[in-house]
Structure 1
Amino acid sequence: MTEQTTSSTGRATDLARYVVGKIERIQAGLVDQQSSAAKATAARLRRALTRPAGSVPEVWEITLGGLPENLIGHGDEPSSAEQAAHTTLCLFAVHQQSQGERMHQSGWGLGRSLQELHRKLGGADDLESGPLIRRFNALSTADSLDEMLWHLRSLITQLRAQGISLDYGRLARDLYSYPVPEYRDAVRLRWGRDFYTYRPEDTGTSDATGTTTSSDN
């Protein structure tokens, strides 16, 4: 593993921890406390979803406050980590809207969540050419963040409708890595493995960084 790869992996881990910490506080306010402040925070995040990181002052404290120093950008454009944090937090706010259960759950990678969506829909969607797999494939081959966000928002809205959770620490890592050409295929591979190999009886979990662990001894 090269020094550059090791550094990038460390930043991705820091990003996942940062995002999960923010989400857990918002989620507790929405689900456990029914807090009006948390509801207002989530509403601001939803409105900022399609905007670049740092361009919406009303969410600065949420998306940038406390960001680890190694993730902070130094130019006129947001760093990839800043953009990934912004996008992930906004997507979570879309997912958690009007839900009484926690929509962020460790261990629920994107492919696993979409496979569960397929199962809940009765398995009627053709896994080779049905609407769900077409959207998933379009997401996985997106060339730009805007295109990716378009498909991802649609899929997350479907997950919300079925009450299916998603691991937002893992998603933050994916959104951070995907724009980098040499990491893109690794992200696609994780999504494909999750989708086609997940079985409901699996008991594997993951920590806040999105690292999978097994319950097997």
Structure 2
Amino acid sequence: MRNRSLTLALLASLAAMPAFAQDESASPTAKRFSVTGGYALSEPKSDTGRIAGSESDFGGDGAPTLGATWHINDNFAVEAWGADAFGHRVELGGAKAASVKAQPYALSAQYHFGDAARTVRPFVGLGYYEMNFKDEEASAGGPLAGNRIGIDTAKGPMATVGVDFNITPTWFARTDVRYLHTGATDVRVNGVDAAEAELDPVVVGVGIGARF
């Protein structure tokens, strides 16, 4: 249900953007709020730890994203960001063992370089995120078949590097890269702590945004 709500919110935001673009002559400096909808690929690091005695590997996946930003002034901003659930294939020793969905939410401070009216504006950000795991399911015939799998919520710092490309004073395109440092996240098998996983995913995204 949460995934569906986020997706509907993303579509609603994109549908509403033309209403925010009525005054194309206004300078970006007069606009203090922006919404960005897009799509991102999440790729955990290749070695995520040992589970049930075997090296684990979490595969990457893509999902819609949604961000809302309050621009304190032309350079400093605060962003709330989230993604629909990324579906990860979990392999142990090279064999598919399970599947799991991971959904991140984050709040971060950003610094946007240069004047707000520039066509190309790079930015950096630093914040805090939480990532909820759900729908953990062991694969039939895999090394964890017949067991119940659970993964605790991951949380930690998030760093962002991105670039905004101003199309008009209202519309802009965005590309960004986020690094989510998870640290050790407990993995449970049949309700018992069995291992720790470190996903540390890199999330690469693109999107379209509007200021108003």
TM-score normalized by the length of structure 2: 0.22
Which structure dedicates a bigger proportion of its chain to helix?
Answer: 1
Which structure dedicates a bigger proportion of its chain to strand?
Answer: 2
For the pair shown, which has the larger CA radius of gyration, 1 or 2? Answer: 2
TM-score normalized by the length of structure 1: 0.21
Give the structure, 1 or 2, with the largest relative contact order (CA under 8 Å, sep 6 or more).
1
